[in-house]
Amino acid sequence: MNSKFQHLDLVDILSERHFLLRSITEKLWNDSSEIYISNSEWFIMARIYKKQPTISYVSKHVDISRQATHKFIKSLESKGLVEIHNVENNKKEKCLCLTPLGEECYEKNEALKATLEKKIEAKIGSENLSLLTEILKLDWGLYNEKQ
């Protein structure tokens, strides 16, 4: 067992592993691409991929303040990754979609994460990876899910 995690409880271990995985995936992307994309921007892109959600929907379904979400969306738009469109019959709402470049980046990042998952599988074994994945997907009965 990794001595760094020996004295941590479940919540802190999950948090540390999450932070580590996000840091690794962000570095893998940014080392292989000229377009810098932050973890917060990836969270937003994940909510948009293959959908056309409204900005308010995205704001409610990412754990980022509404103001920061708008800032990240503008940043994604300026990078050519996201387009903002008017919603038909609604002058107030705007919807989002990934541009072809945005979809390409998202799919390349998914491939990078799959490679990382293969490294984890090689280290802990297929059965342990499957078991871990299934345990994390279970309803832990802690709260009503937002989505």
58 vs 52: CA distance, rounded Å: 10
CATH value at residue 54: 1.10.10.10
Q: Is the pLDDT of residue 2 over 70?
A: no
The tokens describing 17, both together, are 């592993």
Task: Name the burial class of residue 102, with classes exposed (0-12), middle (13-18) and buried (19+) by CB atoms within 10 angstroms of its CB.
Answer: buried
Domain of residue 27: give its range.
Answer: 10-136
83 vs 45: CA distance, rounded Å: 11
In a domain, 37, yes or no: yes
Residue-wise pLDDT tens digits, 43-92 = 999 999 999 999 989 988 888 888 999 999 999 999 999 999 988 888 78
4 vs 13: CA distance, rounded Å: 9
For all residues of the chain together, what is the average pLDDT? 91
In a domain, 2, yes or no: no
In a domain, 79, yes or no: yes
Q: How many structural domains are present in the chain?
A: 1
In a domain, 142, yes or no: no
In a domain, 97, yes or no: yes
